[in-house]
Amino acid sequence: MSAAVTIASRPELPLLAGECCTPLLREPLTAEQAADLARILKALADPTRLRLVSMVAAHEGREACVCDLTEPLGLTQPTISHHLKILMDAGIFTRDKRGKWAYYALVPRALNALAAIIGG
């Protein structure tokens, strides 16, 4: 058995599930889709969280530990952990616990699906 224990943040959001989504500009959103999309956009509508997404995506292996992010951001570990939790709850990141450290990675296709919905 692997030493890594994966902690499920939350299942993939229905709005982002599947290979393709209806572009926002082609068909009106349902109330549920609008609420899901608003939650994702709200999570991303913060400069620190946008930086975290770009830093994790650019990090070796496309994953990073909080300890890798504190110095570049100039923020404390609790503050960064708070922002990472918001991104996890929005379905943008996953969390993998390894010993005492937690590593965060982008959910595959999450941002691509979001771009397809918005961009059409």
Longest alpha-carbon distance in the chain: 47
Domain 44-120 has CATH 3.50.50.60: no
Structure tokens at 10: 């939350």
Check residue 115 and give its pLDDT.
76
Calculate mean pLDDT across residues 44-73: 93
Over residues 69-101, the pLDDT tens digits come to 999 999 999 999 999 999 999 999 999 999 988
pLDDT of residue 42: 94
Instruction: Quote the pTM value.
Output: 0.75
Distance CA(76)–CA(12), nearest Å, equals 29
Is residue 46's pLDDT more than 90? yes
Tell me what pLDDT residue 112 has: 77
User: What are the domain boundaries of the chain?
Assistant: 44-120
The per-residue pLDDT for 21 is 56
Kindly give the residue spans of alpha helices, DSSP state H, lying in 7-101.
31-44, 47-58, 66-73, 77-89
Average pLDDT value for residue range 19-48:
80
Compute the average pLDDT of residues 34-58: 92
- Sequence-distant (6+) residues with CB within 8 A of 28 are none
The CA radius of gyration of the chain, in Å to the nearest whole number, is 15
Mean residue pLDDT across the chain = 80
- Report the pLDDT value the prediction gives residue 4, as an integer from 0 to 100: 38
